[in-house]
Amino acid sequence: MTVLQVGTLKPSLTQTLERRHRAIGLPDTDRDDFLAEHGEAVTAIVTSGRFGVSADLMAKLPNLGAIVNFGVGYDTTDVDAARERGILVSNTPDVLTDCVADTAVGLFLDVIRGFSAADRFVRAGSWPAEGNFPLTHQAGNRRVGILGLGRIGSAIAHRLTAFGCTISYHNRRPVEGSPHTYRADLVEMAREVDVLVVAAAGGQSTSGLVSREVLTALGPQGYLVNIARGSVIDEEALVELLLEGKLAGAGLDVFEHEPKVPPALFGLDNVVLLPHLGSGTVETRGAMEDLTLANLDSFLHSGTVLNPVP
């Protein structure tokens, strides 16, 4: 065995890893005994953004050379520790960009127009009993701020431009050649827009970046959409402001402690909740699986990966 699987993966990917590489999954119990027996043989790990690889686990695998991540997010892996040990880390960029951007637009439309709430209204038999569903708001021609104008953020901006939206964005630095307006101050951008879309990478550098101050600046007429990582937002502040009517609504595909979702959100019709399905299509997950295997095969044959993370 040279390949170790960490965490649950797509079933067909697990089967391929077992068939091609005789991969074994890291057990949930008796890990120290398992690693003492197999640790020296492991040269590659395949995992996902939900699980990742800690510095402690790396230290118990003396010959580990690569961590191959199924997904674009790798914030659960200690990349600094990997870099110090000379361990390559790869992910699967590009192939999920379109589907995640589509999910963001779906949440954008849903939370502003109240489609999910209206669906529940019809299913509950409220239409004939109570009359028409309450009026919502126009989604087009909105001022939209995007936090993180990378591949996914740019794809979201492209889609929302077709809705007549005016796009501004906040990054660590301006994106060269971007037609959209750069805002160096996230609080100021939140104050200026109708909708804040979070598309930033997860990890320590962005943890809590959408703070109470940012959310307060977005204000009672502002909407939040998050398809990035739950850790990017101060979730406690978000829930509190939504309950107090100090935000117009939120469309959320990710949460701080997945799969746990704050129960206080369940009764709010101005909040749309999705189970982290941004890239969850047959086509995209298949492409992610292919690229994960290609990164693994490249490392095992040449010592390099096709998509190294920065």
Tokens for 275, please give them.
């189970």
Bridge partner residues of 34 (DSSP) = none
State the catalytic residue, choosing from 170, 183, 276, 285.
276
Task: Confirm whether 229 is a catalytic residue.
Answer: yes
> Residue 174 and residue 231: Cα distance in Å, rounded?
23
Q: 175's torsion region: left (phi>0), alpha (psi -120 to 50) or beta?
A: beta
Work out the angle at residue 42's Cα, subtended by the Cα atoms of residues 39 and 43, and round it to the nearest 5 degrees: 140
Beta strands in the chain (DSSP E): 3-5, 24-25, 44-48, 66-70, 88-90, 143-147, 166-170, 181-182, 195-198, 223-226, 249-252, 271-273
Cα 40 to Cα 34: distance, rounded to the nearest angstrom: 11
Q: Is 258 a catalytic residue?
A: yes
Q: How far apart are CA 120 and CA 118, in angstroms?
A: 5
Q: Which of 229, 235, 256, 285 is catalytic?
A: 229
Active-site residue among 40, 130, 213, 258?
258
The residues assigned a catalytic role are 229, 258, 276
